[in-house]
Amino acid sequence: MPFGAGMTTTVDYYELLECERTADDGTIKSSYRKLAMKYHPDRNAGCKDSEAKFKAVSEAYEVLKDPQKRAAYDRYGHAAFQQQGGAGGAQDFGAFSDIFESVFGEFMGGGSRGGRAGPRRGADLRYDMEISLEEAFHGKSTDITVDVSAPCDTCQGTGAKPGTSVRTCQTCAGHGKVRAQQGFFVVERPCPVCQGSGQVIADPCGDCRGEGRVEKTKTLAVNVPPGVDEGTRVRLTGEGEAGARGAPPGDLYIFLHVKRHAIFEREGTTLFARAPISFTTAALGGALSIPGLDGQEHEIRIPAGIQSGKQLRQRGAGMPVLQGRGAGDLVIQIEVETPTRLSTRQKELLQAFRETETGEECPESQGFFAKLKQAIGG
């Protein structure tokens, strides 16, 4: 379908941006930038076709750059953003909300969404970091390297070629918004020429192509506090993607992943470990010396006659409380190990011990067989 001035396109958005439907965000963004530069009205003065194509490309990018809008478009197509019909759902309500605010907002003294618009804040970014349980216990200071957009040094983030300036958008008079009559209502939308920034760059910076930002590799210091757990986020304010044309940057979120430990398992601030002991220690009692993650030796007293599966707790020897005081507990689960390699002398001693058994030494075993005989006899 040919494009006409002021026409809302029904051409497939992916076709407009010359992308496959499976294209990632970076590919869509790159393609949009190239096409926007090609068809921008300031570079094609008086060409109605270029202006219409620019508006259509901008409309497509506004949808596909937003994950929720893109998902709705992939499922329903253009019907997802029409004000009538069942497919729009939440989008219909949002459109009605815009209309209501546009008509009644000024009568109530509030204007429309706070006046002038401006360049959008940069996107938040995610970085996944793997740490050991010991590092989660003590905390960690380290440096990470990330590829992120940063303000262009050549134009100081303005997007304009050095020696030139940014001018006010004539289409929206610098407000970043335009109004259109729809029946009895006046609908306010982001300006399709300046994309809501209120400014137009006649002579873009050659290094950033008018974006005011370029891709850079940055080294950032990260401080991981003691007590973090799987999925804990560390926020680096202002270290996300730079905003376009001097807009505020987003944030960088460090998502922490704790590697599995060879000995300890964790549940919140509690540390668990299994400790095998000899059957003589289980029978007579004794003590275990457990090295903790805190670097200290923790002595665990073993009462005589302890059974496998019994848990012994050492208060305050677990993980530290994140951004708080104190620590959790260390829990040792006892596993009584039956000897498999006995000397002749040890076998003789055990044989002598068995000859002295009366059954009262192991009341649970005696009780079990008594109940078994009773159940079978019954």
Instruction: Indicate whether 252 and 271 sit together in one domain.
Output: no
Q: Is 172 annotated as belonging to a binding site?
A: yes
Please report, for residues 101, 284, 307, 353, 371, the alpha-carbon distance to residue 364 in angstroms, rounded to integers and kept in the order given: 77, 18, 11, 19, 10
Residue 10, in any domain of the structure: yes
Residue 111, in any domain of the structure: no
Instruction: Indicate whether 244 and 295 sit together in one domain.
Output: no
Instruction: Indicate whether 255 and 130 sit together in one domain.
Output: yes
Instruction: Tell me the C-alpha distance between 75 and 117, whole Å.
Output: 31
Q: Is 47 annotated as belonging to a binding site?
A: no
CB of 133 closer than 8 Å to CB of 228: no
| Mean local confidence (pLDDT), 114-131 | 78
* 223/76: higher pLDDT: 223
Q: Is the dihedral of CA 85, 90, 91, 92 positive or negative?
A: positive
Q: Is 152 annotated as belonging to a binding site?
A: yes
Which of 260, 281, 309 terminates a domain? The answer is 260
User: If you search the block for the tokens 């993980």, which residue do you land on?
Assistant: 319
Q: Is 191 annotated as belonging to a binding site?
A: yes
Residue 186, in any domain of the structure: no
Question: Is the pLDDT at 109 greater than 50, yes or no?
Answer: no
Question: Is the pLDDT at 10 greater than 90, yes or no?
Answer: no
Domain that holds residue 43: 1-88
Q: What is the pLDDT of residue 183?
A: 63
Q: What is the pLDDT of residue 182?
A: 67
Q: What is the pLDDT of residue 111?
A: 41
Secondary structure class of 83 (helix, strand, coil): coil
- CATH code of the domain containing 14: 1.10.287.110
Instruction: Indicate whether 271 and 251 sit together in one domain.
Output: no
Q: Is 208 annotated as belonging to a binding site?
A: yes
Instruction: Indicate whether 281 and 355 sit together in one domain.
Output: yes
Instruction: Indicate whether 11 and 80 sit together in one domain.
Output: yes
Instruction: Indicate whether 249 and 124 sit together in one domain.
Output: yes
Tell if the pTM clears 0.75, that is, is over it.
Answer: no
Structure tokens at 155: 């134009």
Most confident of 30-44, 188-202, 242-256, 272-286: 272-286
Q: Is 169 annotated as belonging to a binding site?
A: yes
Residue 373, in any domain of the structure: yes
- Per cent of the chain over pLDDT 70 is 84
Instruction: Tell me the C-alpha distance between 169 and 378, whole Å.
Output: 96
User: If you search the block for the tokens 């560390």, which residue do you land on?
Assistant: 234
- CATH code of the domain containing 306: 2.60.260.20
**Nearest 10 degrees: Cα torsion 147, 148, 149, 150:** -100
Please report, for residues 128, 222, 254, the alpha-carbon distance to residue 145 in angstroms, rounded to integers and kept in the order given: 12, 10, 12
Secondary structure class of 344 (helix, strand, coil): helix
Which of 241, 260, 279 terminates a domain? The answer is 260
Q: What is the pLDDT of residue 100?
A: 41
| Mean local confidence (pLDDT), 123-146 | 94
